[in-house]
Amino acid sequence: MDEPVPVTRPIDYGTAKLMPDVDRARAWLLTVDGAPQSYVDLDAPAHLEFEYVRRLAHVVDVHTADADAPLDVVHLGGGALTLPRYVSATRPGSRQHAVEADRRLLALVLAELPLPDGSGIETYAMDARDWIEQAPADSADIIVADVFGGMDASEGTDGPESADGPRSSRSARVPARFTSVEYARAAARVLRPGGVHAANLADGTPFAFVRSQLATFATVFTELALIAEPAVLRGRRFGNVVLLASDAPLDIAALTRRVSADPFPARVEHGSALTRFTGAAAPVTDRDAQGSPEPPDGSFGIG
């Protein structure tokens, strides 16, 4: 049997490379311009390498009392479709929509890392904000916003969204159009009552961006929570923060148990502690929204 070999292709926004994992027979790491983006094990889609992807998976796992019940999930930002594959494997019968702006990246992933038959995953090569604004109302149980792209700091313009893992500093910024009150309202319209919006963000002390996101989503949703490593929350380093928003109480106890048992444990902040953390931060609109801060070099690695 031939050994798998790396695959390198130009994509719309850089160069993608798929590298086989020497320790797992059909596992692959996707990088874009040398930065890790996604990790997929085709034989074991429930195996998750990146820390923050495991935290998003925990959100899926605790969403209903029946842990096997199928869900309708929207993924904004596709990458190698790691989380959609996880949901398909752990929640059979789920209906999922994965939106990726980089058409050639999506084509590469579907060709080299094909989805299993009957996965229930539909993919779309288009802008994620446009997709969510066109989606039917009350059609999703969970929206996962993992939308990152390069930005022109001098003009404040957004580049492409992409991927489901750590990024280089050149492409590791949440575009402004996914950070506003208008975006939050669009997402809330698509969610069913009790649905959850889970956003992967990146920030560091003094957390001006995350605080503004908490204030922004609080104008639309009644329940909020943050999941992050203690070192990130204490301002010791830049890192991923998962923001949860819903119109119904979140299962904080179940989430806390799961994230604290991870190889790299995380904390769940909510309630009065989160209100204090938000402080006097103000919500932002499309008119004044800005993307997340550019991370320092070497901020992200493989979890």
pLDDT tens per residue across span 269-294: 999 999 999 999 999 999 999 888 88
Q: How confident is the model at residue 299 (pLDDT cuts 50, 70, 90)?
A: low
Written as six digits, the tokens of 51 are 């820390």
Q: How confident is the model at residue 226 (pLDDT cuts 50, 70, 90)?
A: very high
Q: How confident is the model at residue 1 (pLDDT cuts 50, 70, 90)?
A: low
pLDDT at residue 25, as a whole number:
92
Phi-psi label, residue 209: left if phi above 0, alpha if psi -120 to 50, beta otherwise:
alpha
pLDDT at residue 162, as a whole number:
43
Residue 64 has pLDDT above 60, yes or no: yes
pLDDT at residue 297, as a whole number:
65
Task: Decide if 188 is inside a domain.
Answer: yes
pLDDT at residue 2, as a whole number:
72
Task: Decide if 294 is inside a domain.
Answer: no
pLDDT at residue 34, as a whole number:
86
Task: Decide if 223 is inside a domain.
Answer: yes
Q: How confident is the model at residue 213 (pLDDT cuts 50, 70, 90)?
A: very high
Domain carrying residue 272:
45-278
Widest CA span in the chain? 61
**pTM across the whole model:** 0.91
Average pLDDT, the chain: 90
Task: Decide if 250 is inside a domain.
Answer: yes
pLDDT at residue 36, as a whole number:
87
Q: Count up the domains in the chain and report the number.
A: 1
Q: What pLDDT digit, counting tens, does each position of 142-177 carry?
A: 999 998 764 433 333 344 444 444 444 335 688 999
pLDDT at residue 167, as a whole number:
41
pLDDT at residue 302, as a whole number:
40
Task: Decide if 5 is inside a domain.
Answer: no
Mode of pairing for the β-strands spanning 95-99 and 121-124:
parallel
Q: How confident is the model at residue 298 (pLDDT cuts 50, 70, 90)?
A: low
Task: Decide if 2 is inside a domain.
Answer: no
Give the residue with greater pLDDT, 130 vs 162.
130
pLDDT at residue 149, as a whole number:
64
pLDDT at residue 285, as a whole number:
97
Q: CATH number for the domain including 138?
A: 3.40.50.150
The CB-side HSE value for 137 (13 A sphere, CA atoms) comes to 2
- Report helix, strand and coil shares of the chain as percent, to nearest 5: 25, 30, 45
Task: Decide if 217 is inside a domain.
Answer: yes
- Mean pLDDT along residues 119-148: 96
Task: Decide if 200 is inside a domain.
Answer: yes
> In Å, what is the CA distance from 201 to each residue of 137, 232, 270?
25, 12, 16
Written as six digits, the tokens of 60 are 């899926």
Q: Hey, how many other C-beta atoms are within 10 angstroms of the C-beta on 271?
A: 11
